Structure 1
Amino acid sequence: MLPQSVLIKLSLEVKTEIFKRHDKGEGTCAIVSAFHLAQSTVSTIIKKGEAIKAAAGEVATLSASRITRHREPAMEELHTWVEDQNRRKAPMSQTIICTTALSLWEEIKVRQNLDDSETFKASHGWFDHFKRQASLHHVRMYGEVMSDTVVVAVFHNELKRIIP
């Protein structure tokens, strides 16, 4: 049986030091020995060097081991809109929320003078992520399936026919 691997959170300071050593020409094996890390860990850090440099420039302290990003103001606007609709007991569905998100995106593109290369797609995956991120599991959702009374009536009649 293989031993379980242990998750080690490295600070940005350590990651930048590994990246600097590699840039100076030090070999991966030497870096692995110096930091007592797995070779795959060091290789991944070296591979993601540009992202690490960018992250190191964004944070106040290099001792951070986790970087969090703030939500976009558009997502805050959308979250506020959804909560407002829920307070008014307005029917909500994925289609309505995604359509509203797309219209908010168009407004933001105009406000911030973004070009057409900046795109946004309100997909099913985006919606699931938005719902989780905004903690909207409590929002009442209504959809086509719930409002299709014709299908329910047909099913009910078919069930009566099968079970007298």
Structure 2
Amino acid sequence: MLMASGGKRIHVGGVNAAILKGEEDVGEWDEEELWRGRRRDTAGTFRGRPPTVVPFEVHQELNRRKLDEALEVCRSSVVDAVKLWQELVADHEADMKYRLEAARQIADRVLGKPVDRTQVEVSLRPEPWREAIEVAVVGSMADVIDVEPEDDWPEWDEAE
């Protein structure tokens, strides 16, 4: 049994328990199994109630596959994108602003993007506002009173 937030007990099935123990590899699951958060039965269908809890590993695997798929689509589109920029640079009827932007994009990728210089100043002295706060904040009474206590009790004459 697992405990959910709030202390409620959650029952996980055998497959989910195996995933949580690292005994089940969700990399072998097909995409529909990942979307549903459970394995197919022996007949190849999904019968019964859907799971109440889906292990994080299932979610991670589905995200990894989707991101890999998106990256592959981007990779296959790179050549078309560069050809489009090339056509735009060569198109003398296009607005010069767009032609220059396309030329800059090509140059940045072929020659490398120019380095932007950034000047950084480092000072070991704290900012004035921080210094004022550090002086104003005290840690103990010893920091506030920096004098030795005096015996200022009046002396009583016992004869009186």
Q: What is the TM-score normalised by the length of structure 1?
A: 0.28
Structure number, greater radius of gyration: 2
Q: With CA pairs under 8 Å and 6+ residues apart, which has the higher RCO, 1 or 2?
A: 1
Q: What is the TM-score normalised by the length of structure 2?
A: 0.29
The structure carrying a bigger helix percent of its residues is: 1
